[in-house]
Chains A and B, each alone.
Chain A
Amino acid sequence: MSEAIIQVDDVSKSYGGVKANVDISLQVKRGSITGIIGPNGCGKTTLFNSIVGYHPIDKGSIKFEGKEISHLLVGDIARLGMLRTFQQTRIYSKMNCVDNMQISVSHRAESKSSMFVSRKGEIRERAEHLLEFAGLYSKRNLISGDLSFGQQKLLEFAMALMNEPKTLLLDEPTAGINPTLINGLIDRLRRANEELGITLCVIEHNMRVIMNLAEHIYCLSNGHMLANGKPEELQNDQRVIDAYLGGH
């Protein structure tokens, strides 16, 4: 359990003059749920983007399962089994939910012939099953762009599960989700972690959610790693309270 599936060492990234990430190091243990918190604009999404290869980093090293990935492209990293969801929620908005799910199958072992497999059968069943898991079964034939924002968020999560990733990076999964549904979502995240064995790394502003969910939390501030530790440790860390929790 102590093996790091993601190992980030001394990663920096700036946009022009903005130092979005400075010498960031963190570890995500295989099978764990790890949290990332910090004030708006502190560089959380930037860090995700660096990890999944969305942009080249300025310096540092990022390893996935022991393999250096900082020079790989987004698609290559996704096909290694590491996916991310987007803070702005991205789905294929003109396709219906089932189709969104079906095209989200894993492309890890993709050969030329799997590009032309029929959409019926096993893939379709799994798509419907996961839509049920996400609570979207009754919406399955709707055009996904017509779903509410929260429903789109759930769909994006279900799509990620359809891909059977080893690791899933979630950028604010509960943002915009109705408070009464949040407990259900926490439960689903846990089940994805426990039953499907997916390592989760979650950016979250909702303290109740992240303190409940994560075993280990990193707190960023102004592009720097401020502190990390167990939820109760961070809650009592004066630096974290000053930078972030104080306002809550």
Chain B
Amino acid sequence: MSMNKKTMFTYGGLALFGILGPMLFPQYTLSIAYLWMMVLMASTWDTLGGQMGYNSLGNITFFGVGMYVSAIVQISFFYDGGVGEYTSAMGSIKPEFTAAEYFWGLGLGILAAGIVGLALSLVFSSFMFGLRGPYFAIGSLGLAIAVAEVTITIDYVGGASGISMPLFPGDIEFRSTFFYILCFAFTIVSHFLLRWLYSTQFGLAANAIRDDEDKAEAMGIPTLAYKRIGWAIAAFFMGCIGAVAGNMAGFIDKEVAYPIPTFGIFMVAMALLGGKGTLWGPVLGAIIFHVVKEATWTYLLNLQWVALGLILIINIVYFQQGIMGWLKTKYPELFGIVVDTSNIADDDEKEVAR
């Protein structure tokens, strides 16, 4: 994984921002935590959506399921009555977890959330990948809606009234910092995993599926296996970050766990804005989207949705390839796209390379 100067500079800048941001502006710590969360969502969405051309509108399912799974694990691991009694008491039971219990529970909860998310994606894969184009998109949206509805029928997890998450054993500032670090860390891990993944044959196979899946099949590429893996990676990270988000929120119910019209759609919008099918597009898109969202919320409260809608419209009408795609066409040399004109020079170069 060699990097050029530009890339190192970008990473350096992001790392500085990630570390100094919450130190210099502690009141924005949670907001920046959400920023990283959105980067993770958009980036992992892009594995299937941008790289392979399977536009899932249902990745938020894994987020919500992860959130609930983590709650179950955290509560039932250290509370004898289990999550059923805990939730049926409607918050009147507030078991005190020791710090060790809390952090162990959280760690196991996040892990379980990731694993269950991944397993669920494999179940979905067994029937969803027969669908293509808009049918896959709408089908996956249907899954999210269905899973959300099913969740609130389960009394064991509090039904429609939700679950209060275990109290964080520490003061509010430490709490913010702690969850900030979790969000930042998961985003970093997912980013570098995807970066590596796209540098292998996997990245090419994904793009081949996007460009012409029938051709890929005809060339013997095991397309289903690639699609499964792509979705499973997204599902794992969405499950983990869902678990973190549930604990950050402190209380979870259907709206918190399955924010289909907001995060569910934002992650797609962010990837499209930055440029789908690229490593950096979703990162850039998420940052711009989040900054605009926060700024308009602060300064133009009523116009926030108008501003976000406007960005999307401009994006879709004028820059369908997103910012990265637009830069790529405008400045191809920045991306190492070389247009060879002279065959002779090429052959010389080849000789030198030998």
Q: Is the CB of B220 within 8 A of A75?
A: yes
Stretch at the interface among A82-90, A197-205, A220-228: A82-90
- Is B340 part of the binding interface, using a Cβ–Cβ cutoff of 8 Å? yes
- Is B221 part of the binding interface, using a Cβ–Cβ cutoff of 8 Å? yes
Q: Is the CB of A115 within 8 A of B201?
A: yes
- Is A214 part of the binding interface, using a Cβ–Cβ cutoff of 8 Å? no
A116-146 vs B, CB cutoff 8 Å, 1 = contact: the mask equals: 1111000100001000100001111111000
Residue pairs across A and B with Cβ atoms less than 8 A apart, 17 shown, are: A78-B218, A83-B218, A83-B220, A90-B212, A90-B215, A91-B211, A92-B208, A93-B211, A99-B204, A102-B204, A104-B219, A105-B201, A116-B200, A116-B201, A119-B200, A138-B347, A142-B339
Stretch at the interface among A17-25, A61-69, A106-114: A106-114
Supposing A115-B202, A116-B201 touch, asked if A91 and B215 sit within 8 A by C-beta, the answer is yes
B203-230 vs A, CB cutoff 8 Å, 1 = contact: the mask equals: 1110110111011111111110110010
- Is A245 part of the binding interface, using a Cβ–Cβ cutoff of 8 Å? no
Supposing A90-B215, A138-B340 touch, asked if A118 and B199 sit within 8 A by C-beta, the answer is yes
Q: Is the CB of B219 within 8 A of A159?
A: yes
- Taking residues whose C-beta sits less than 8 angstroms from the other chain, chain A's interface range is 35 or more
Minimum distance in angstroms from A119 CB to a CB of chain B: 6
Q: Is the CB of B220 within 8 A of A79?
A: yes
Q: How far is the CA of A117 from the CA of B205 in the complex (A)?
A: 12
Q: A118-B201, A141-B338, A141-B340 are in contact. List 16 more A-B contacts (CB 8 A).
A: A74-B214, A79-B220, A84-B218, A90-B214, A91-B212, A94-B211, A95-B204, A99-B204, A99-B207, A103-B219, A114-B201, A115-B225, A115-B226, A117-B201, A138-B340, A163-B219
Minimum distance in angstroms from B194 CB to a CB of chain A: 12
Supposing A93-B211, A94-B211 touch, asked if A119 and B220 sit within 8 A by C-beta, the answer is no
Give every chain A residue within 8 A of B218 (Cβ-Cβ): 52, 54, 74-75, 78, 83-84, 86, 90
- Is B149 part of the binding interface, using a Cβ–Cβ cutoff of 8 Å? no
Give every chain A residue within 8 A of B336 (Cβ-Cβ): 141
Q: Is the CB of A94 within 8 A of B210?
A: yes
Q: Please, which residue of chain A has its CB at the minimum distance from the CB of B353?
A: A128
- Is B3 part of the binding interface, using a Cβ–Cβ cutoff of 8 Å? no
Give every chain B residue within 8 A of A193 (Cβ-Cβ): none
Supposing A75-B217, A107-B222, A110-B222 touch, asked if A116 and B346 sit within 8 A by C-beta, the answer is no
Q: Which of B325-354 contact A (CB under 8 A)?
A: 336-340, 342-343, 346-347, 350
Q: Please, which residue of chain A has its CB at the minimum distance from the CB of B225?
A: A115
Q: Is the CB of A103 within 8 A of B208?
A: yes
Give every chain B residue within 8 A of A110 (Cβ-Cβ): 222
Q: How far is the CA of A105 from the CA of B210 in the complex (A)?
A: 18
Give every chain B residue within 8 A of A94 (Cβ-Cβ): 207, 210-211
Q: How far is the CA of A42 from the CA of B65 in the complex (A)?
A: 55
Q: How far is the CA of A245 from the CA of B211 in the complex (A)?
A: 38
Supposing A95-B211, A99-B207, A119-B199 touch, asked if A142 and B340 sit within 8 A by C-beta, the answer is yes
Q: Is the CB of B223 within 8 A of A75?
A: yes
- Is A27 part of the binding interface, using a Cβ–Cβ cutoff of 8 Å? no
Q: Which of A34-92 contact B (CB under 8 A)?
A: 52, 54, 73-75, 78-79, 83-84, 86, 90-92
Q: Which of B293-313 contact A (CB under 8 A)?
A: none
Q: Is the CB of A92 within 8 A of B211?
A: yes
Q: How far is the CA of A91 from the CA of B229 in the complex (A)?
A: 23
Give every chain A residue within 8 A of B291 (Cβ-Cβ): none
Q: Please, which residue of chain A has its CB at the minimum distance from the CB of B347?
A: A137
Give every chain B residue within 8 A of A52 (Cβ-Cβ): 218
Q: Please, which residue of chain A has its CB at the minimum distance from the CB of B328?
A: A143
- Is B99 part of the binding interface, using a Cβ–Cβ cutoff of 8 Å? no
Give every chain A residue within 8 A of B340 (Cβ-Cβ): 138-142
- Is B197 part of the binding interface, using a Cβ–Cβ cutoff of 8 Å? yes
Q: Is the CB of B219 within 8 A of A107?
A: yes
Give every chain A residue within 8 A of B197 (Cβ-Cβ): 116
Give every chain A residue within 8 A of B346 (Cβ-Cβ): 137-138
B256-268 vs A, CB cutoff 8 Å, 1 = contact: the mask equals: 0000000000000
Q: Is the CB of A86 within 8 A of B215?
A: yes
A139-158 vs B, CB cutoff 8 Å, 1 = contact: the mask equals: 11111000000000000000
Q: How far is the CA of A112 from the CA of B203 in the complex (A)?
A: 14
Supposing A95-B207, A137-B350, A141-B337 touch, asked if A75 and B221 sit within 8 A by C-beta, the answer is yes
Q: How far is the CA of A84 from the CA of B218 in the complex (A)?
A: 7
Q: How far is the CA of A112 from the CA of B229 in the complex (A)?
A: 10
Supposing A84-B218, A137-B346 touch, asked if A116 and B202 sit within 8 A by C-beta, the answer is yes
Supposing A94-B211, A116-B197 touch, asked if A83 and B219 sit within 8 A by C-beta, the answer is yes
Q: How far is the CA of A112 from the CA of B297 in the complex (A)?
A: 47
Q: How far is the CA of A54 from the CA of B226 in the complex (A)?
A: 21
Give every chain A residue within 8 A of B210 (Cβ-Cβ): 94
Give every chain A residue within 8 A of B201 (Cβ-Cβ): 102-103, 105, 114-119, 123
Give every chain A residue within 8 A of B208 (Cβ-Cβ): 92, 95, 103
Minimum distance in angstroms from A26 CB to a CB of chain B: 21
Give every chain B residue within 8 A of A163 (Cβ-Cβ): 219-220
Give every chain A residue within 8 A of B202 (Cβ-Cβ): 115-116
Q: Please, which residue of chain B has its CB at the minimum distance from the CB of A98?
A: B204
Q: How far is the CA of A163 from the CA of B221 in the complex (A)?
A: 10
